[in-house]
Structure 1
Amino acid sequence: MTDGSATGIPRLLRAGMGATAVGLLLIFNSVDTGPGTNRAESQPVPPAVAAPVVPGPPDAAHPVPAAPAAPAAPAAPAAPAAPAAVPQVPVLGRAQPTRLRIPQIAVDAPFTELTLDPAGRLNAPPPDDKNLVGWYRDGVTPGERGSAIVAGHVDTAKGPAVFLLLKLLRPGNKVEVNRMDGTVAVFSVDSVETFAKDAFPDQKVYGKVPDAQLRLITCGGAYDKKRRDYLDNVVVFAHLESSHKA
């Protein structure tokens, strides 16, 4: 088991893997300022009104007028409420994933294990099964602390495949992973990004993280017939939101 650091995934997916059929997947986390202080503008204090000067001692005919009362100071603005603390979701123990569900794009697929080839690149899921996803078995499992890596084809020689619509996911969409220990890890999508394979950001995708996160990876961008490869990778970044019994 690794701690999710980039060193735990040597050369993983950067250049992809050699395709054996047209369209095979070549695989390879804003500082939100808290609410601003809403300061009420101080109202200007009007000048005190001077009492008129009355010559001579006061008498019944010339009483001394009372000085007007000083105006009240404006009330101090109420302090803004402190933002609610974000609850920390406990990470899960190690357990092999068994099924991936993404309702928004109609994904309901079993898992297979993925290993590295002799060059240190991740082997793709078998190309003859369009509805299959793979996870890097020597990395963290979905729900453990770290970045769990899950990959799938966008298409195969047989047609559209499991991650065809992955790029359509949006922040807040849910990803469910059934695990062999009887739990379901529920992830919430943070972002969906596309990177050129020639400039794949290893550290951003595979770097160490303090919580349980998930990366879903497939091919994207234009298809280069000469290279028999897609030029980009689509990466979904998600974090563990909750877990429950299956």
Structure 2
Amino acid sequence: MSAAGAAVLYVGFALLALAFGVETVPAFLGFAVALLGGGLLLTGLFGWLRQAFLRHQDRSVADPEARRTYVTTMILFLATDLGTFGAGFIYYVFVRVGTWPPADLPPLLGSLVAINTALLLVSSVTFHFAHDFLERGRDRAFLGLLGLTVLLGVVFLAGQALEYYEFVVHEGFSITDGVFASAFYGLTGLHGLHVALGVVLLSIVLVRGARGQYAPERDTSVATVGLYWHFVDAVWLFLVATLYVGAVVSV
């Protein structure tokens, strides 16, 4: 269900992009399809969360074999997700075959992208130490750092929204402005979607942690969400190096 929802969500985003460039495509159709896909995606994820973790929350100690299974499954998911990002990067490579850099590029490198990058890097550090405190039985420190991680993720999303606003409104640089724009907004938008999902997962972990559902020997969902969050951070660094820094390099 989540996979189908993600596919429908992507179609909705594509329709929205067409709506801004082709007048014959109504914008409300893109919004409707995107909302349907988002609903299916979240429903599937909640069902997975309930089946995988919440129905077993009465156990005092997690099953080590189940923990290995869930962690391995998350690693396999991230491997397939890497293929999704890889397709976007391959498109970007083909874009760069022509004359470079494009003449209509906005000022991509600035303080905003530097701040956003620092926020995500710090969020990985705070999550790492939050998990470390949980394993040492220091619940208050675990919750405090986990809450800070969620806050950093939210601020990052706000910064990305501000960047889009600056590019579209003040620079006149939108997703329909050439092949580089489609690659830029496609890849950064896909990453932003992953960050938003990560914030949702981190928030669920935070609520469960506040209810006392974790312990040093019971941290499976903390470990799996941690893998996802660190993956998202690593992809962002590659995005910055490729799209932001690489966009102004002519060789």
Q: Same fold (TM over 0.5)?
A: no
Which band: TM-score by shorter chain? under 0.3
Name the structure where strand makes up a greater proportion of residues. Answer: 1
Name the structure where helix makes up a greater proportion of residues. Answer: 2
State the TM-score, normalizing by the size of structure 2: 0.21
